Amino acid sequence: MLDANCPNCGAAISFRSVDLPVKVCGYCRSSVIRSGEHLEAIGKVAEVPEDVSPLQLGTRGKVGARGFEVIGRVRWRWTDGAWNEWLALFDDGSNAWLGESMGRFMLLREIDEGGTPNRVAQRLAVNGVVLGDEAVIAGTNFTVTDVKDVVCVASEGELPFPAPDGLAMTSVDLMAPDGEAASIQQEPGKGTERPGPPSVYVGRYVSLADLAATNLRSFEGWPMPRFAA
């Protein structure tokens, strides 16, 4: 862990993992990038709007014997709505994303496909992905269930990459019959530059009970589950 001060406002901030070089200052909302012990504020981000999510920074849970804590969030929006992607830091130092949309949750880890990207990732670079497309990812057959252009509207906490307001992506969701899930995200090219390689994430649908989640956020109309008490 690196304890430091925000280079913009001087507030205390901390970085808990070398794999997570970005911290959104909770006081001034500056996005701070860490390189070794050097910190640089690269601009401010919007505050995450109020929603009805039971998750919050500090929510804890378990996957098998490994515990985790939610330490970051990115809020994405598309033409018909928005969803959260929460960053979970595990006790062993690894991290995963807990995607939340319309009361459903996907726990996903980024994978490296090396020099042989899956079929959907190959077609994504030329905007050729449609619903029903199939791809083999990490040995599992997946089917595309959703394709949309999205934009980041806010972020908070610790993150593996800068998530400024207005960051644009093409996002593809995929499913397998047994509850396994995958997501592929592609940033568009800038100017005359070609898009970089897409990011590929694999995992499965989970419930808050599956994760034995605690320190959930209570709000009107949502009874706190017994397992979280």
For 193-205, write each residue's pLDDT tens digit.
Answer: 666 788 999 999 9
**Which pLDDT value is given to residue 121?**
85
**Which pLDDT value is given to residue 193?**
60
For 174-196, write each residue's pLDDT tens digit.
Answer: 999 989 999 999 887 665 466 67
Task: Give the tokens for residue 194.
Answer: 């070609």
For 18-42, write each residue's pLDDT tens digit.
Answer: 889 999 999 999 999 999 889 999 9
Cα distance between residue 5 and residue 137, in whole Å: 41
Query: Which CATH code of 3.40.50, 2.60.120, 1.10.3470, 2.20.28 fits the domain covering 2-44?
Result: 2.20.28
**Range in 7-16, 40-49, 161-170, 215-224 with the lowest mean pLDDT:** 215-224
Cα distance between residue 103 and residue 109, in whole Å: 20
**Which pLDDT value is given to residue 63?**
95
Residue 71: pLDDT over 80: yes
Cα distance between residue 132 and residue 123, in whole Å: 13
- Amino acid identity for residue 67 in this structure: G
User: Interior CA angle at 62 toward 58 and 63, to 5°?
Assistant: 135
Cα distance between residue 99 and residue 158, in whole Å: 16
**Range in 133-147, 149-163, 171-185, 189-203 with the lowest mean pLDDT:** 189-203
Task: Give the tokens for residue 9.
Answer: 């406002």
Question: What are the residue boundaries of the structural domains of the chain, listed by start?
Answer: 2-44, 60-206
The more confident residue out of 113 and 25 is 25
Residue 206: pLDDT over 90: yes
